[in-house]
Amino acid sequence: MSPPASIGVFDSGVGGLTVLRALRAQLPGMPFLYVADSANAPYGDRSDAFILERSRAITRFLIDAGARLIVVACNTATAAAIAALRAEFDVPFVGIEPGIKPALARSQSRRVGVLATPSTLRSAKFRSLLRTHATQTEPVLQACPGLADAVERGDLQAPDLRALIRQCCAPLRAAHCDTVVLGCTHYPLVAAHIQTELGAQVHLLDTAEPVARQTARLWTHGTPCAAAPPQLYTNGDVAVLRRVAALCGLEDAQFHHGLAAATPPPAA
């Protein structure tokens, strides 16, 4: 008996739960499968080749479990792998990328900042995004090495995490940015801390909701009659996944420890 048609979602770790939260709000009752590849997080420290192989393995896992559409809820994996995934697998994919265009449209001062992983900022996909949408104004690009990893550990009040956020936000504050793009799905989990560092007047832009709307447009497998609890898989610490899921309003989720971790090569 084949598994029920569902929507698959994956990220390098727990950050994609912020996207899953938006997906459930847009598609209530839909069955979701979520994979946190936490044993290999953060992807921002990995080579493109490694990210692509992990993305392929996770995609196969999700399709075998019933996924008929897959959301790549990771900016780094979208940049490194989504083109190859679309060419290789016969299911629709929805990716996520930093919201440069809506940020520039919203900014009154045209001073836009981007917080993202180093891998995302150096990717060809991101550079193409800049060439397309930031032809007159160059955003302030702030790489945040270690921030996704610190969030992934699950203690969102840790002093070292707060210090790292302060360090990453300082250049954007000095540049008087009035709109800041959260260019990693982990960052909305610490949006309150980021807001504190930048000031209440700065607008933080998260692209989870547009991703959810695009997923709803592409989904063609009907709507279930009864709510289905999301199935959450991790090859990391289930307790961390459970704690972050609760912060995202996913208390009804069912948690599983699974999916081969793979032996990661040295970080790129």
- Whole-angstrom CA distances from 193 to 42, 52, 141, 164, 217 are 20, 32, 19, 10, 33
Beta bridge partners of 142: 115
How many angstroms separate the CA atoms of 57 and 9, rounded?
Answer: 13
Which of these is catalytic: 74, 144, 168, 248?
Answer: 74
CB count in 10 Å sphere of residue 237: 18
225 is catalytic: no
Which of these is catalytic: 144, 177, 184, 248?
Answer: 184
184 is catalytic: yes
CB count in 10 Å sphere of residue 126: 23
Burial status of residue 40 (CB atoms within 10 A of its CB: 0-12, 13-18, 19 or more): buried
Catalytic residue numbers?
74, 184
